[in-house]
Amino acid sequence: MTVPASFPALRRLSQRRSTPDPSRCELCGSPLGGEHPHLVEPPTGKLACACPACALLFPARPGVRFKRVPRDVFELPEFDATALSMPIGLAFFCRSSVDGKMTVLYPSPAGPTPAAVDENAWQAILDHAPELSRMEADVQALLVHRIGGARDTFLLPIDLCYELVGRLRLQWRGISGGEEVRAELIAFFKRMRERSTPMRKDGPHA
């Protein structure tokens, strides 16, 4: 049987898409640098690596196949998380544009553990911090850190939350994570503070 000339190329393309290469754009295959944009597929929540040219094709708006993840990080230094009743002192909150539901994810050695967020509790948060009503579904998250007396709260790109989860998984030892996890948390939130601008009630930043 004669094999069509195009078949090997199609097979390679299929294999590349089923096992994404983080060094190449998952849309066009172009080489990527160390820092590159990410896209989110709203129905699945999966992240895709993209080159700058492909990322520009997907603004963060409803009804598109992918949404571009923004890069800005905003700090909420006076945020009160009491209404959220977090059983663990580290979590990030995000909303899906598909079903409109808010979800909280807790980092763990097995990856992020999701749970539903009580809408009344979230409304109480919005009453206190109305600027969070501008949080973009699928691509932004509210990251709250209260471990060991910390008071870190940031509105940031969703990919940074998954970066933190990955770093903690690599370093996790024992039940509580160990000194390596504590060092990762200190380094991560120090970087976020250096990168962020303060968020205010009447606009995205000061």
Q: Is residue 59 domain-shared with residue 120, that is, in the same domain? A: no
Query: What proportion of the chain, given as a percentage, has pLDDT over 90?
Result: 64
Q: Is residue 44 domain-shared with residue 129, that is, in the same domain? A: no
CA distances for 65 relative to 6, 54, 180, angstroms: 27, 13, 38
In 74-95, which positions are buried (b, 16+ CB within 10 angstroms) versus exposed (e)? bbbeebebebbeeeeebbbbbb
Residue 153 has pLDDT above 70, yes or no: yes
pLDDT in tens, 71-111: 999 999 999 999 998 999 999 999 999 999 999 999 888 88
CA distances for 115 relative to 73, 107, 132, 203, angstroms: 24, 12, 20, 29
CA distances for 91 relative to 15, 44, 115, 185, angstroms: 35, 20, 10, 12
Q: Is residue 94 domain-shared with residue 174, that is, in the same domain? A: yes
Which H/E stretch holds residue 29?
Answer: none
Helix ranges restricted to H, the chain:
7-18, 52-55, 119-128, 158-171, 178-195
pLDDT at 64: 74
Whether 205 is in a domain gets the answer no
pLDDT grade for 174, boundaries at 50, 70 and 90: confident
Could you say which of 23, 46, 68 is where a domain stops?
A: 68
pTM over 0.85: no
Q: Is residue 39 domain-shared with residue 106, that is, in the same domain? A: no
Q: Is residue 89 domain-shared with residue 34, that is, in the same domain? A: no
Q: What's the domain range around 149?
A: 74-198
Q: Is residue 78 domain-shared with residue 64, that is, in the same domain? A: no
Q: Is residue 160 domain-shared with residue 81, that is, in the same domain? A: yes
Q: Is residue 172 domain-shared with residue 78, that is, in the same domain? A: yes
Whether 42 is in a domain gets the answer yes
Measured distance CA(20)–CA(113) in Å, rounded:
24
Residue 157 has pLDDT above 90, yes or no: yes
Q: Is residue 58 domain-shared with residue 79, that is, in the same domain? A: no
pLDDT in tens, 44-80: 989 999 999 999 988 766 667 899 999 999 999 999 9
Whether 2 is in a domain gets the answer no
Phi/psi region, residue 148 (left: phi>0; alpha: psi -120 to 50; beta: rest), is left
CA 170 to mean position of chain CA atoms: 18
Overall domain count for the chain: 2
Q: Give the Cβ contact number of residue 145 at 10 Å.
A: 20
Whether 203 is in a domain gets the answer no
Residue 161 has pLDDT above 50, yes or no: yes
8 A C-beta contact, residue 136 and residue 60: yes
Q: Is residue 106 domain-shared with residue 182, that is, in the same domain? A: yes
